[in-house]
Structure 1
């Protein structure tokens, strides 16, 4: 999607910034409201920009406004209709900027009641799936992967590594520990409840084909997981957030985490260890895939650090 940037900046820097932005082909529209900003005090500069070149626009804004009090708000632009620049608009690229990626991942992995509730519900559904027949099992696993926001918190870690941002790494680690800890606990409690109600048994879990598959992944399983982690990284980097669930469905990280919890509830410590190994494999694949994709985007496309 194209972007709208709204820049609030000191009035004595406005003309210099306009002179820096106006020559850029990626800036399709540029307008100014003198004295329109109350917080921070100054002018408001509004840009309709293409993805192609937006990093250069942000770089020039940061250079001109360095050392001053300013702010930038970004928004998706559904379309830009500009007959004079139609070819530029038509050939725009599909990339997210670092600031949007950081904000999106931070939002999805923020440790709140909503985040923890969704992870807990994903763990509960996966626990049910681990003691179910194949058809309801698939439904439970797919639903859990769609509902639980399990990819984004992990993706914060390689993003922080690429951008040398310790705070992003720290937030990611906290989100992963809190979120997956909650998921595992929910899977423990769900299995205990099912067993108390007589709806599931330890034997159903131990002999379930999905448990064996996660405990002993084949080459095919690992290849599918690699495809899932790589696609998840590209989805984040290309601003296609609405389809991130597909990457989780391709992996088994949610159900593997639930396997750890159910194994603990059953006292099956060897299965808990195998579940932890499968979970750790998917985590490692997410970190490695995201690092490769994000680093490639930095070296070949963005070539800048985030403004903040």
Structure 2
């Protein structure tokens, strides 16, 4: 169940109420006249079955509510309502499977914001990954993978293509390029310092590394894992069940490859540099393509759900 809060000018209130009242998936409708100060107008509250959120939000956008007022959507974690239960039962689809595109798109913009926090996490994760390579430690490698923030921007590539948000596509590409670039450069400088102090030797880079050697030796399984992990990650991001994200983070070799690029550059080891770059590209391409395909499939499925719902309603509405 989702809670939708609308602040709208008084002239729009009746039209907003009509949108809510016309949909069988809406329950718990309330109106507070004159409660909104910015914009001057009314406050409308409604509970909506998650499966129907896209249709309702689309109709509110058609009214221009998002331009002259605000539309807020919140998850209702716990609720007790017979009418709400009936609304979910008669709405096609499953709540756990439903994709709320407004939420997914907004989160994508947030995940692609290039800021100090993002660059810090990227850099720290890459540094930890380089230490994991030096120590040949799988535990440190997993820690670096979990710490890395890059998956949000990778998933945003698919969202941008499916939803045709080309500004978002540009932001995601820029964030990934700058993020990996800064992380590799900082790690390179630190590794150069470690070499000067004698803490890191060339044997740490070219010597036997049974625990972390996979980083610079990509193969078909690298691509397959990237594809499967991205599908799982997108499902976790778009559904109401997000427990699978940690598994995605520790499955794909992106930041460890970036760390190995920096170490290889310090000692001029071409095999480590090019092998790691190929591993990085294979993983990024596999994740981006799989994310796009998963989101495209979800959009196709939920578009059909919207058509089914439209046929069941008394009034036809333009779907997403």
Q: TM-score, normalised by structure 1?
A: 0.89
Please state how far the C-alpha of 1:31 moved relative to its aligned partner: 0.8
Quote the Cα distance in structure 1 between the aligned partners of 2:35 and 2:243: 35
Q: How many residues align?
A: 303
- Which residues of 2 match residues 89-128 of structure 1 at below 5 A? 89=88, 92-128=95-131
Please state how far the C-alpha of 1:186 moved relative to its aligned partner: 2.9
1:194–1:306 distance in 2 versus 1, CA, 3 Å: farther
- Which residues of 2 match residues 59-98 of structure 1 at below 5 A? 59-65=58-64, 69-89=68-88, 92-98=95-101
4+ aligned runs moved over 6 Å, structure 1 = 303-307
For structure 1, which segment, 286-295 or 56-65, has the greater mean C-alpha deviation from structure 2 after superposition? 56-65
Quote the Cα distance in structure 2 between the aligned partners of 1:197 and 1:94: 54
For the residue of structure 2 that corresponds to 1:209, the secondary structure is coil
- In structure 2, the residue matched to 1:141 is 141
Please state how far the C-alpha of 1:115 moved relative to its aligned partner: 1.0
Aligned 8 A contact 1:121 1:186 in 2: no
- In structure 2, the residue matched to 1:254 is 255
Please state how far the C-alpha of 1:56 moved relative to its aligned partner: 1.1
Quote the Cα distance in structure 2 between the aligned partners of 1:242 and 1:114: 23
1:144–1:54 distance in 2 versus 1, CA, 3 Å: same
- In structure 2, the residue matched to 1:18 is 17
C-alpha RMSD of matched pairs (Å): 2.5
For structure 1, which segment, 290-299 or 266-275, has the greater mean C-alpha deviation from structure 2 after superposition? 266-275
Please state how far the C-alpha of 1:68 moved relative to its aligned partner: 5.7
Please state how far the C-alpha of 1:239 moved relative to its aligned partner: 4.3
For the residue of structure 2 that corresponds to 1:52, the secondary structure is helix
For the residue of structure 1 that corresponds to 2:34, the secondary structure is strand
- In structure 2, the residue matched to 1:41 is 40
Q: TM-score, normalised by structure 2?
A: 0.86
Q: Which runs of 5+ in 2 are unaligned?
A: 307-317
1:108–1:290 distance in 2 versus 1, CA, 3 Å: same
